[in-house]
Structure 1
């Protein structure tokens, strides 16, 4: 039995299969995921698990070179924006309108659904490499 890190077998497998440049999304309970994109549904009930819990667990097991947020997070969820920026210091990022963000999810390798019920707690992450290039 695995005793550390991500225990969800499906999520652990998707993370292990990430290659440099692959993207995936962590979203709230209501983020629409395009047809054909595999979903790891972790949502249990409102707020469980939280976006913060899932992001922290994922970042502990991945190398991230870039992330993308919906620009609406700046005014609608400042606390979460601060958490994300503190969790990913010195990582390149961009903010785009929410409608464009939803379009961008069409290109991700997989999606993670959390139980988050706050505004705009969605992030697209791009895998980096764990060695100098």
Structure 2
């Protein structure tokens, strides 16, 4: 059995095969997922698993250099937004690598998911609790 935090086989494979600047989306239960993009559906019920728990686990296994967030997230769900920013700050300090944060409209965010290698759907029901991770390199 795998020893590290991430034991979901689909996400583990996804992270292992990411190349520099590849993108993955982690989303709430309501974000529309383009038909041609791989869907990794973790949602069990409202709130399970949560957005931030999923973010933490994926961060523990992958190097990211940038994120894309909908502008509306900060205004509509500031507690979750601030918690995400805290996680990203911790990750940046832990790795010694800067993580750029870009904000776009929610409509532009949804369009950008078309470029994702996969969308990981959580059970989160907090509005706009979505993020796109851009893969970095460990060297």
> How does the TM-score come out when normalised to structure 1?
0.95
Q: Write out per-residue CA displacement over residues 57-104 of structure 1, whole angstroms, 9 at most, x where no aligned residue.
A: 000011110000000012111011111111112411111110110000
Moved beyond 2 Å, runs of 4+: none
* Distance (whole Å) between structure 2 residues aligned to residue 52 and residue 99 of structure 1: 22
What RMSD over aligned residues (CA atoms) do the two structures have, in Å?
Answer: 0.8
**Gap regions ≥5 residues in structure 1:** none
- Which residue, out of 89, 98, 108, partners 1:100? 108
Q: Indicate conservation of the 8 Å contact 2:26/2:122, yes or no.
A: yes
* Distance (whole Å) between structure 2 residues aligned to residue 74 and residue 30 of structure 1: 17
Could you tell which deviates more after superposition, 45-54 or 82-91? 82-91
**Gap regions ≥5 residues in structure 2:** 90-97
> Which position in structure 1 is the counterpart of 2:135?
127
> Which position in structure 2 is the counterpart of 1:9?
9
Shift of 1:38: 0.3
Equivalent positions of 1:28-67 (< 5 A) are 28-67=28-67
> How does the TM-score come out when normalised to structure 2?
0.91
> How many residues are paired up?
131
Q: Which structure features the higher share of helix residues?
A: 2
